[in-house]
Amino acid sequence: MNADQEKEKEKELETATFAAGCFWGVEAIFKQVKGVVETAVGYTGSSTPDPNYRQVCTGITGHAEAVQIRFDPKVVSYEELLSLFWRMHDPTTPDRQGPDVGSQYRSAIFYHSEGQKAAADRSKQEFDRSGVYINPAVTEVVPATTFYPAEEYHQDYFEKQGGRGCHVLRK
């Protein structure tokens, strides 16, 4: 593929950003999806500039641990990614996923377009109607803000460490 073809292909990709607890497990699940071209773990959802892991862990920056995904909508739809998002964590627990507690572990969908916002709102309503959990989702559906990639040792963490993901998918 020449440089012009690569630029055209890049234009066809879309971006999605999700927070569903510890970003290592979220990334590990999304990386397995056909049509997901690239993932990055990082911090978003606050106006504090250039946060690092230690700062985010204190909760004082207001960032969420999140995964930013570049995907090919001809292969996997945003709605399919949303379906996976709802199944990989408990979106009814505020600021907590399993043993991880703090605002950085909140459930959030950071939309990049009005179409994504509408799809996220619909999917949240569908989740609440599904009765999977007694309580409704506390998931934020908010505009995407600056995404700060996490430190390199966090990227592809389970691949580098030889471990397996900490998130479990519900059917």
- pTM (2 decimals)? 0.89
In a domain, 95, yes or no: yes
Output the domain CATH number for residue 80. Answer: 3.30.1060.10
Q: How many CA atoms lie within 13 A of 1 on its CB side?
A: 8
Mean pLDDT over residues 143-152, rounded? 90
CB atoms within 10 A of CB 47: 9
CA 75 – CA 34 distance, rounded (Å): 7
In a domain, 54, yes or no: yes
In a domain, 4, yes or no: no
Split into its structural domains, the chain has a count of 1
In a domain, 117, yes or no: yes
In a domain, 81, yes or no: yes
pLDDT in tens, 23-76: 888 999 999 999 999 999 999 999 999 999 999 999 999 999 999 999 999 999
Residue 60, both tokens: 């004082």
Question: Residue 99 gets which letter from DSSP?
Answer: T
In a domain, 26, yes or no: yes
Which residue carries 């949303």 as its tokens?
A: 82
Mean pLDDT over residues 4-13, rounded? 72
Per-residue pLDDT at 30: 96
CA 24 – CA 47 distance, rounded (Å): 23
Question: Which residues are the active-site residues?
Answer: 22
143 has pLDDT over 70: yes
pLDDT band at residue 136, thresholds of 50, 70 and 90? very high
- Domain extent, residue 20, equals 11-161
Which residue carries 């946060």 as its tokens?
A: 51
pLDDT band at residue 7, thresholds of 50, 70 and 90? low
- Give the list of residues 6+ apart from residue 170 with CB closer than 8 angstroms, or none: 87, 88, 132
